[in-house]
A and B are shown apart, each in its own frame.
Chain A
């Protein structure tokens, strides 16, 4: 049933990259519990705009949980308290009247804050550019099922490919490690025959790029897999490690 709640927000405000930021408090009154979290911020922003104040900057695009643009740490949880849910798909019915909600941006050295809750995640793009692709010339569409792939492998590759690159894994990792993201991106290609020819090259290049960008090192805390909106499993990190050892020790790729 639709209800209206009154809540208090403690939001991280920061004018631009590299300057000092801090928390500011806002009161959001009459918030419908049918609203999504982002719609709730929209309402707050409309009021801020009417008051002649700077609205809260935050990233978003599809608002249906598929693009990976949204995300903030809500009360200490990346994408909020619901499992397997992006921030845009989190609804206000999970909050109660009178709640105080602390909203912080993703925090990692590799994800510098651009403004307020918006962070620069181009580090993820750089990891993809380092090897998250297969080199094929586009030609005529190949016949379906020309390359037989077992159901089990297809499912695993699909599960890894569900990663939307939102960065919640980095945000929730106590070490700000990007290994769940890199593991998913390496796995989705390593599992399929089309990805094998460049597998060694890819594993080495993507891991090295990840290190170069100053992400932390995984210590198997498993917070990423618990927070990931697409429920990517850490078995993908194990696969990345296997691919990396195979490439580093067993292949001719330097």
Chain B
């Protein structure tokens, strides 16, 4: 395995890990959003979506463990890169000015990332690690979002996710070596559109549910 670790344990290799796991999470976000949108079709549609998902059984468990592994890779590598980048410039500039490359998303990747990590843990404790024997998932969700603090936290977290992905999506393609005058502008546009879909798509669900009850 020497050549393998030798390749992955370089700057470019670590970026590859970030890009592959990051893009995987983008696909996950898209699927998760499609599932969540069933809530607009009503309580029964949402509950039945959840039931269908859980009827996958071992397949779902495998997907969950896979995601945990990818999350660990993305988070640990991301934090390591952040630390290395920080130490690569021990003495900072007195004056910092952007030349036009940096965006809100690119400048905040590690910070939006850490907020997302805290949010994901919070989110799992809200809706995943809960006793679901005498209740439905819709019940749990609507009870949670009847509290304004939940609505605020969730909506904020989704804006943070949108900012993270606005840079991450395009950046992952660049890291993978996919840069071409013909389609890079399209990918940059798609990055923005995807982040808006994530922000608006997920962000309005807590507000909608809170208005229902």
CA distance A226 to B90 in the complex (A): 23
Task: List A59-112 residues whose CB lies under 8 Å from chain B.
Answer: 73, 75-78, 102, 104, 107-110
From A43-51, A127-135, A159-167, A232-240, the one touching the partner chain is A232-240
Answer whether residue B81 sits at the interface, using C-beta atoms and an 8 A cutoff: yes
From B66-74, B97-105, B117-125, B142-150, the one touching the partner chain is B97-105
CA distance A252 to B9 in the complex (A): 18
Count residues of chain A with CB under 8 A from any CB of chain B.
52
Asked if residues A220 and B175 are in contact (CB atoms below 8 Å), the reply is: yes
Count residues of chain B with CB under 8 A from any CB of chain A.
45
Asked if residues A245 and B106 are in contact (CB atoms below 8 Å), the reply is: no
A104 — which chain B residues lie within 8 A by C-beta? 93-95
Cross-interface CB contact of A241 among B12, B95, B100, B181, cutoff 8 Å: B12
Asked if residues B94 and A254 are in contact (CB atoms below 8 Å), the reply is: no
Cross-interface CB contact of B3 among A207, A218, A234, A254, cutoff 8 Å: A254
CB distance from B94 to the nearest CB of A (A): 6
Asked if residues B174 and A238 are in contact (CB atoms below 8 Å), the reply is: yes
Asked if residues B95 and A75 are in contact (CB atoms below 8 Å), the reply is: yes
Answer whether residue B58 sits at the interface, using C-beta atoms and an 8 A cutoff: no
Answer whether residue A208 sits at the interface, using C-beta atoms and an 8 A cutoff: yes
A207 — which chain B residues lie within 8 A by C-beta? 10-12
CA distance A226 to B98 in the complex (A): 9
Task: List A210-254 residues whose CB lies under 8 Å from chain B.
Answer: 210-211, 214-227, 234-235, 237-242, 244-245, 248-249, 254
Task: List B64-86 residues whose CB lies under 8 Å from chain A.
Answer: 81, 84-85
From A28-36, A136-144, A172-180, the one touching the partner chain is A172-180
Answer whether residue B14 sits at the interface, using C-beta atoms and an 8 A cutoff: yes
Cross-interface CB contact of B99 among A102, A211, A227, cutoff 8 Å: A227
Answer whether residue A26 sits at the interface, using C-beta atoms and an 8 A cutoff: no
Given A23-B94, A75-B97 in contact, is the A241-B107 Cβ separation under 8 Å? no
CB-nearest residue of chain B to A75? B95
Task: List B173-195 residues whose CB lies under 8 Å from chain A.
Answer: 174-181, 184
CA distance A28 to B31 in the complex (A): 62
Cross-interface CB contact of B85 among A211, A219, A238, A239, cutoff 8 Å: A219
A78 — which chain B residues lie within 8 A by C-beta? 99
Given A219-B106, A225-B101 in contact, is the A211-B11 Cβ separation under 8 Å? yes
Asked if residues B167 and A220 are in contact (CB atoms below 8 Å), the reply is: yes
Asked if residues B95 and A254 are in contact (CB atoms below 8 Å), the reply is: no
Cross-interface CB contact of B12 among A73, A219, A244, cutoff 8 Å: A244
Task: List B138-185 residues whose CB lies under 8 Å from chain A.
Answer: 167, 170-171, 174-181, 184
Answer whether residue B6 sits at the interface, using C-beta atoms and an 8 A cutoff: yes
Answer whether residue B13 sits at the interface, using C-beta atoms and an 8 A cutoff: yes
CB-nearest residue of chain B to A83? B99
Asked if residues A107 and B3 are in contact (CB atoms below 8 Å), the reply is: no
Asked if residues A221 and B85 are in contact (CB atoms below 8 Å), the reply is: no
Answer whether residue B91 sits at the interface, using C-beta atoms and an 8 A cutoff: yes
- Chain B 15-35 interface 0/1 with A at a Cβ cutoff of 8 Å (1 = within): 110000000000000000000
4 A-B pairs closest in CB distance: A222-B101, A76-B97, A248-B7, A216-B88
25 A-B pairs, CB-CB below 8 angstroms?
Answer: A76-B97, A77-B99, A78-B99, A104-B94, A107-B91, A107-B92, A107-B93, A109-B87, A207-B12, A208-B10, A217-B11, A217-B14, A217-B88, A219-B85, A219-B171, A222-B101, A222-B102, A223-B98, A223-B102, A225-B101, A227-B99, A245-B177, A248-B6, A254-B3, A254-B6
A residues touching B (Cβ–Cβ < 8 Å)? 10, 12, 23, 73, 75-78, 102, 104, 107-110, 172, 174-177, 179, 204, 207-208, 210-211, 214-227, 234-235, 237-242, 244-245, 248-249, 254
- Beyond contacts A107-B89, A223-B98: 6 other A-B pairs, Cβ-Cβ < 8 A, are A108-B89, A218-B11, A218-B15, A220-B167, A221-B106, A227-B99
